[in-house]
Amino acid sequence: MKKQTCIICGKPQTDGIIINNRRICRFCEERITKLSPGNDFYEFYRSSIKKSIFQWKGAEINCQNYHL
């Protein structure tokens, strides 16, 4: 069985969250929750998640940006 890795940092996944069968490690999860929009790291994480989760069979699904 292939070991799951974090979609952001690529490290082996031991804990954290699972979104649409993709994993985010606890370190990246905590860092994401502490960032504010507009921060460079926020944009990096957002881009990494979007590329990994919303890409199927080479076709990207366009999602609207909802600002809460």
Q: Can you tell me the distance from the alpha carbon of 56 to that of 33, in angstroms, rounded to the nearest whole number?
A: 26
In terms of residue numbers, what domain contains 26? 16-57
- Number of structural domains found in the chain: 1
Q: Can you tell me the distance from the alpha carbon of 28 to that of 64, in angstroms, rounded to the nearest whole number?
A: 23
Query: Does the residue 65 lie in any domain?
Result: no
Share of the chain above pLDDT 70, in %: 74
Note the pLDDT of residue 26: 92
Neighbour-count burial for 3-30, b at 16+ CB within 10 Å, e otherwise: eeebbbeeeebeebeeeeebbbbeebbe
Q: What is the mean pLDDT of the chain?
A: 77
> Of 19, 20, 38, 21, whose CA–CA distance to 29 is shortest?
19
Predicted structure pTM score: 0.65
Query: Does the residue 46 lie in any domain?
Result: yes
Query: Does the residue 10 lie in any domain?
Result: no
